Amino acid sequence: MKPPRIGVIGSGSWGTALVYHLAQHHSVLWYVHRPESAEYIRRHGRNPAYLKAVELPLKNIRIYSALRPVLQKADGLLLVTPSRFLRPILDAIDPELIHAAWIMSAVKGMIDTPQGAFLISEYLEQHRKWPREHFYVLSGPSHAEELVQWKTTFLTIAGTNIEVRRRLFQDLLGTAYLPLLYSTDVIGIQYAGILKNVYALIGGMVEGLGMGDNFKAVLMTAALREMWLLIQRFTGLQPDILQPAYGGDLLVTGYSRHSRNRALGLMVGQGTAPRMALRELNMIPEGYFAIAALQRKLGKALPQFPILHSTYNILYESYSPQLEMRLLTEHLRRLFLQSAPES
């Protein structure tokens, strides 16, 4: 059987890390949006913008600055483009014309359109008629900077019929330092990846305000609970929130020095206006855009989820981070008093 060719759509840090990982033993067709970046990588074997020290195994990588050849040649597609720029790529996917038998999303964001906010799976199914049984999600604690150093993590692949391609995905991605977990919770795991970025952002604000590690631990505990409630609302299921794709991803994004969402929150907490902080960061923090999409999705129900609500108020309604945090602190006090076991 001919070895599969995997199309990777995206050349940021996570896309670069996944190309590096896949191309150790497999053939990769890599879509790099900027022609000058594509040419630099061909010549030097390194991404000039992200993970610059990583030497890529070019013998197994073909690089394209046009999307069409990748869609026409790849046996499977791995989406790693920030959600803010993903819609034109998804709109180019025609199930009748592309070669790929499956699509896997490693994107932890939403597609925000005038018609509403969509998960990647929802947009593909409703707008591109992509069959849900051929869509998968890759998620979990996964900082690119650590993957390229062969540091151990546990990633989860979710699909409605995951057993059909489990052996293929194990061969493509599974290693001793990257053991894979499998799930059928396609919707819940997508929401977990979106929500953890928002919670990491407000966790960064707590740090920037100098509120201390103790309060941040309280906040992240409440965020875990709120994540569980939101996923239950969106899916009707009760997720195992302590699995790596849920709670694990929340913890690493909330606390790691590699987290761009935490970094943005830190700047806002220290007094930088959100839009100015966004410009200064010079990276795409998915949480900033995700909270706007979630506000549209939840509408009048947003205040039922106070951590999300506070984050939205600070980022988009220009509320004072200090005042909003005082209100949130009082809410958390009531929450934990109500749920505390009687002595």
Counting Cα atoms < 13 Å in the Cβ hemisphere of 52 gives 4
Residue-level pLDDT at 283: 85
Residue-level pLDDT at 97: 85
Residue-level pLDDT at 3: 84
Q: Where in the chain is the domain with CATH 1.10.1040.10?
A: 195-338
Residue ranges in the chain modelled with pLDDT below 50? none
Tens of pLDDT, residue by residue over 96-124, are 889 999 999 999 999 999 999 999 999 99
Cα–Cα dist 129/131, whole Å:
6
CATH number among 2.130.10.10, 3.90.180.10, 3.10.20.90, 3.40.50.720, domain 5-184 = 3.40.50.720
Q: Where in the chain is the domain with CATH 3.40.50.720?
A: 5-184
- Average pLDDT of the chain is 95
CATH no. of 195-338: 1.10.1040.10
Which residues have C-beta within 8 Å of that of residue 160, sequence separation ≥ 6? 132, 133, 135, 184, 186
Tens of pLDDT, residue by residue over 225-266, are 999 999 999 999 999 999 999 999 999 999 999 999 999 999
Residue-level pLDDT at 96: 87
Residue-level pLDDT at 341: 67
Sheet holding 180-183, edge to edge: 61-64, 27-31, 5-9, 76-79, 102-105, 135-139, 155-159, 180-183
Judged on CB neighbours under 10 Å (0-12, 13-18, 19+), 118 is buried
Catalytic residue numbers read: 196
